[in-house]
Amino acid sequence: GTEAAAVTSVTVGVTSVGPNTNTFIVDHPFLFVIKEKYTNAILFMGTVTDPSK
């Protein structure tokens, strides 16, 4: 099987200096997909059913 670590919050931003960041607050169940940038191949897919854990 495959195992991945869970997080309760993810911040996505650019590498340049500046206040432009996006915050993703996990307060409900969701599906996520990690894809390779150029081919869009799915590397990992999962669900969070109870983000309080």
Give 1-53 pLDDT, tens digit per residue: 566 665 555 555 555 566 777 887 888 998 989 898 889 899 888 988 888 87
Tell me, what's the pLDDT at 12? 59
- Helices and strands counted in the chain (H then E): 0, 4
Dist. CA 39–CA 53, nearest whole Å: 33
| C-beta of residue 47 within 8 angstroms of C-beta of residue 40 | no
pLDDT on residue 41: 92
pLDDT recorded at residue 13: 55
14/9 Cα distance (integer angstroms) = 17
pTM higher than 0.85 for the full model?
no
